[in-house]
Amino acid sequence: MPATAPVLRVGNASGFYGDRFDALRSMLTGGELDVLTGDYLAELTMLILGRDRLKDPSAGYARTFLRQLEDTLGLAHDKGVRIVTNAGGLHPAGLADAVRKLADRLGVPARVAHVEGDELAGHEGTLTAHAYLGGAGITACLRAGADIVVTGRVTDAALVTGPAAAHFGWDVTDPGDLDAFAGAVVAGHLLECGAQVTGGNYAFFADHDVRRPGFPLAEISADGSAVITKHPGTGGVVDVGTVTAQLLYETAGARYAGPDVTARLDTVRLRGQGPDRVAVSGTRGEPPPPTLKAGLTRIGGWRNEVVFVLTGLDVDAKAALVRGQVEDALAGRRPAGVRWELARTDHQDADTEEAASALLRLVVRDSDPEAVGRAVTGAAVELALASYPGFHVTAPPGKGSPYGVFEAVGVARGTVRHLAVLPDGERVRVPEPVDFLELADVAAPALPSPPPAGPTRRAPLGRVVGARSGDKGGDANLGVWARDDEAWRWLAHTLTTEALRTLLPETAGLRVERHVLPGLRALNFTLHGLLGEGAASAARFDPQAKALGEWLRSRHTDIPEVLL
């Protein structure tokens, strides 16, 4: 990465642990790159790796990465592409050692470094406890000549800010570099989920061929601005809509805080630059908060699930009968959490039995495995010949399984020792920012003028707006955006928190925050507590709120005819 190169090309080949296996090779062969990143760590992944480590103390990293690298290490070396990944998970030193052994076996020269210090001590009762580190450790490793950098729990955007700072000479201790860092954070956030920014999971997917979207890359400039694109000839699409959708994903208000900088999302400007190219500019940065975010996971208890199939006539009566029978059976030892949900997937006068059937889902949770085990399975199985006509379940009930809980907390920066372990083994303490700023809401921006009154028609909200949603612990994030100024004028004045509660009755009783981002023609909602104890507890039908936005878009409301 010559320091004089005006643009740094950073690609991404993984958005989660289990993403497309051949993406690493595809990104290395599909076009020019300087750095290739891989994001393997979702909040749920830390819990999975924690359970792996309980069985084997040498485990705790994403083994998929090693298998991918076996096929591509020589290719990356020949092309001079550096690889940066958080696949180290709970054991970055272990993965770094495994990469060195792989390189020796393949006969490929590779200088491997890793970043550590994210694991926190003193959190009794947790399975994992890790601070979200910034990109400065990655920067130190690359400046020391590393070809491959392995990290544990860094922010997803750090996989991009670290290489960018190494390339352009930015310094986390220099307040003059805040805007550049903030721009790179935005670029990193856009790349982190892989194909989600190239047409995957996109509200207006029918407008494009997204059967096999390519993975993204960012062309980053010295001021932190970037162009989001993908390799020529790969599937999917990059346009202002796909970039807007990903920018709203799992964010909240105008301030997007990280360990190195707080990026102001209300300053971001997007502009199409031709086919599959979107320029991202204008991002302003502020000092980061004085504390670091940390993620704690623990075993929350035990859960079990039974899905009853209700076919044909009298579905509601059948559901009431079996629910009452099971509740009676559980009366002596009722689990702490019991949730019933009837999904009316049945069709009238259906031509297949499956299409004529509805699903009644029972989910139970308790701290005692016995309470969700035989007590529940027995209550269900014993009804096989003594309940509604056509009784059967989708799968034999099991004995229950443990579920996890994720919690985000703030920790003092002094409790974290951020270290870069360089290719020669030297351990270097990573510098910290020198200025900090407590997070606070920004002043509410001015709304556009309301649209003129006119005739309306009842139609799905998604006819005129896009949405994308996701999870942050027990909270759900729901971003909604308009594709033109007229639709934005209507959306900004129509989709209030009260209107959202009406459209999504499951939010009743929850605290709902609305953030307005006029520069993106977007609203970003945080629905506090919608997901209970988080995705790992799997208490909700859609535990990660992935389809929450599509539910909202399917809801009918009065829309101006001029927009339709």
**Total domains in the fold of the chain:** 3
The answer to whether residue 482 sits within a structural domain is: yes
Split at pLDDT 50, 70, 90, the class of 449 is very high
Q: The whole model's pTM is what?
A: 0.94
The answer to whether residue 247 sits within a structural domain is: yes
Q: What pLDDT, in 10s, does the model give residues 382-400?
A: 999 999 999 999 998 888 9
For the segment 236-244, the average pLDDT, to the nearest whole number, is: 98
The answer to whether residue 336 sits within a structural domain is: yes
Q: Which residue has the tokens 């035990």?
A: 302
3-class DSSP state for residue 397? Answer: coil
Within this chain, do residues 228 and 165 fall inside the same structural domain, yes or no? yes
Give the whole-number percent of the chain exceeding pLDDT 70. Answer: 98
Structural domain boundaries, residue 559? 456-563
Q: What pLDDT, in 10s, does the model give residues 103-132?
A: 999 999 999 999 999 999 989 999 999 999
Both structure tokens of 94: 């272990």
Q: What pLDDT, in 10s, does the model give residues 324-348?
A: 999 999 998 899 999 999 999 999 9
Q: What pLDDT, on the 0 to 100 scale, is given for residue 1?
A: 42
Angle between helix axes 63-79 and 92-106 (nearest 10 degrees) is 50
Q: What pLDDT, in 10s, does the model give residues 175-200?
A: 999 999 999 999 999 999 999 999 99
Within this chain, do residues 198 and 329 fall inside the same structural domain, yes or no? no
Within this chain, do residues 50 and 187 fall inside the same structural domain, yes or no? yes
Split at pLDDT 50, 70, 90, the class of 2 is very low
Please name the helix (run of DSSP H) or strand (run of DSSP E) that holds residue 458, with its range, or none: strand 456-460
Within this chain, do residues 284 and 348 fall inside the same structural domain, yes or no? no
3-class DSSP state for residue 306? Answer: strand
Split at pLDDT 50, 70, 90, the class of 4 is low
Within this chain, do residues 492 and 360 fall inside the same structural domain, yes or no? no
Q: What is the DSSP letter of 521?
A: T
Long-range contacts of 103-111 (CB under 8 A, 24+ apart): 103/73, 106/70, 106/73, 106/74, 108/73, 108/74, 108/77, 109/77, 110/73, 110/77, 110/147, 110/148, 111/145, 111/146, 111/147, 111/148, 111/423
On the question of pLDDT at 548 being above 60, the answer is yes
Q: What pLDDT, on the 0 to 100 scale, is given for residue 13?
A: 98
Put the strands of the sheet holding 284-286 in their side by side order.
Answer: 255-257, 262-264, 284-286
Within this chain, do residues 128 and 235 fall inside the same structural domain, yes or no? yes
On the question of pLDDT at 503 being above 80, the answer is yes
Within this chain, do residues 273 and 357 fall inside the same structural domain, yes or no? no
Within this chain, do residues 138 and 256 fall inside the same structural domain, yes or no? yes
